[in-house]
Structure 1
Amino acid sequence: MPMINVQMFEGRTPEQRRKLAKELTEGTCRALGCTPDAVQIIITDIKKENWAEAGKLFSD
């Protein structure tokens, strides 16, 4: 069973999340030949002050 973890900045709408889940599920099923009920997706919101790149917080 494929498990997909998505980490992204908070602020996406429920509709955007639904679309993401649908697209990820469809793509996974095409690539792996599995059924949609086998695909699980975890979406985690991250605050910009909790994410850094190149030594700088995204909130800065």
Structure 2
Amino acid sequence: MPFVNIRVLEGHSQKRKNEISRRVTEAISEIAELPMDAIWVVIEDVAASDWFVAGKPVGEPKG
């Protein structure tokens, strides 16, 4: 059973997360030839202060 863990910055709507989950599930189901109910998707919200790019939190002002 595939388990997909997706981490996103906080602030995405539930509607958007539902759509991401639906599309990921459909793609894996089609490619792996598995029933959709065998695919688990977890979406984790991460605070901008806990997400780093180039050693700096993405929530930090640039400059």
TM-score with structure 1 setting the length: 0.95
Matched, 1:49 2:49: yes
Structure possessing the higher radius of gyration over alpha carbons: 2
Matched, 1:2 2:39: no
Quote how far apart the aligned CAs of 1:31 are.
Answer: 1.1
Give the length in aligned residue pairs. Answer: 60
Name the amino acid aligned to 2:17.
Answer: R
Residue 39 of structure 1 is matched in structure 2 by 39
CA RMSD of aligned residues (A): 0.6
Identity of counterpart residues, as a percentage?
A: 25
Aligned pairs for 1:22-33 (under 5 A) are 22-33=22-33
4+ runs deviating over 2 angstroms: none
Name the amino acid aligned to 2:50.
Answer: N
Q: Aligned to 1:41, what secondary structure does the other structure show?
A: strand
Name the amino acid aligned to 1:48.
Answer: A
